[in-house]
Chains A and B, each alone.
Chain A
Amino acid sequence: MSFILTASIMFAFWILLSGEFSFILILSGVFSSLLVSYMSHDLLIGKGDIKLGLTRTIRFIKYLPWLLWQIVLANLDLVYRTLHPKMPINPRIINFKNDFKTDLGMVILANSITLTPGTVTIEVNENEFIVHTIAEEAAQSLISGEMQARVKKIEGEHNV
């Protein structure tokens, strides 16, 4: 099942990138997508069930607008701090507990932390997140845990 799914995704991607429908291109597309899915079909779909992956994708798309808005805020904040003559920064390193069950949740949270105002993820391990914050407000907004709750919602109840 995962083999067929990977092969069709790969072939759709091939069509998208080439945009031509001559015989030789289609044929080499079929061959290469079959070859790639033979080698790596367990990587894209994995052993988890497809339905769960799909619900998570939909939840992630619902999360995107909030993330984009946070990125805009992050950049305005950064522009202010960069161009201000006195540079109002007060960097410090904070850490908080990692209570995520899946790798997916950790990756989404770590990348979101890096993209949102005043924080950069330094280290993620099984117990904690270590984050560099550029100002006190940024540290406070991270400790308040709004983002963690949103990412938790994407992750859902399952353990895989």
Chain B
Amino acid sequence: MDIRAIITGILLALGCFFIVVASIGIVRFPDFYSRMHPAGKSDTLGQLLVLSGLMVYEGFSLVSVKLLIIIVFIFIVNPTATHALAKAAYVSGLKPWKKEKGKND
């Protein structure tokens, strides 16, 4: 089998793994703010891995340069969007979930 196809497969599988775990995290975590963690981080790395897998598959061409541009774009946009959501919640006064009430402020 082609070595390039194997690398592509590994990268795609890893990327999908992180995206699936992020989705599980969004369901499992207790409140809005902690749900922002998987939404903001794992999506970024998952998409990075998936898109770089496609870049490896494509080889050096115009398409892979475009994929690289998409990766850079997502890297800037994803944390910014997370920040915007978290700030909106904070400004409208949503209180974060705490493990033991009253223990730590």
Chain A residues near B (Cβ < 8 Å):
16-17, 19, 71-72, 74-75, 78-79, 81-83, 87, 89-93, 110-111, 114-115, 118, 120-123, 130, 132, 134
Q: Output the least CB separation between B14 and chain A (Å).
A: 10
Q: How far is the CA of A25 from the CA of B18 in the complex (A)?
A: 40
In the complex the two chains form, is A75's CB within 8 Å of B45's CB?
yes
In the complex the two chains form, is A16's CB within 8 Å of B65's CB?
yes
> What are the 4 A-B residue pairs with the smallest beta carbon separation, nearest first?
A114-B79, A82-B25, A111-B79, A19-B62
The yes or no answer to B44 lying at the interface (CB within 8 A) is: yes
Find B96's partner among A19, A78, A91, A114 (CB 8 Å cutoff). A91
In the complex the two chains form, is A75's CB within 8 Å of B41's CB?
yes
Q: How far is the CA of A71 from the CA of B37 in the complex (A)?
A: 12
- Count the B residues whose beta carbon is within 8 Å of the partner chain — how many? 37
Q: How far is the CA of A93 from the CA of B104 in the complex (A)?
A: 10
Question: Closest chain A residue to B33 by CB distance?
Answer: A132
Q: How far is the CA of A118 from the CA of B29 in the complex (A)?
A: 13
In the complex the two chains form, is B83's CB within 8 Å of A122's CB?
yes
Interface residues of B in 1-58 (CB under 8 A from A): 18, 21-22, 24-25, 28-31, 33-34, 36-38, 40-42, 44-45
Q: How far is the CA of A114 from the CA of B44 in the complex (A)?
A: 11
Q: Output the least CB separation between B16 and chain A (Å).
A: 13
Q: Output the least CB separation between A18 and chain B (Å).
A: 9
Q: Output the least CB separation between B98 and chain A (Å).
A: 7
- A92: chain B residues at CB < 8 Å are 96, 98, 104-105
Q: Output the least CB separation between B11 and chain A (Å).
A: 13
The yes or no answer to B86 lying at the interface (CB within 8 A) is: yes
Q: How far is the CA of A134 from the CA of B28 in the complex (A)?
A: 14
Question: Closest chain B residue to A131 by CB distance?
Answer: B86
Q: How far is the CA of A110 from the CA of B83 in the complex (A)?
A: 8
In the complex the two chains form, is A82's CB within 8 Å of B66's CB?
no
In the complex the two chains form, is A82's CB within 8 Å of B33's CB?
no
Are A122 and B40 also in contact (CB < 8 A) when A72-B45, A89-B29 are?
Answer: no
Q: Output the least CB separation between B94 and chain A (Å).
A: 10
Q: How far is the CA of A87 from the CA of B34 in the complex (A)?
A: 12
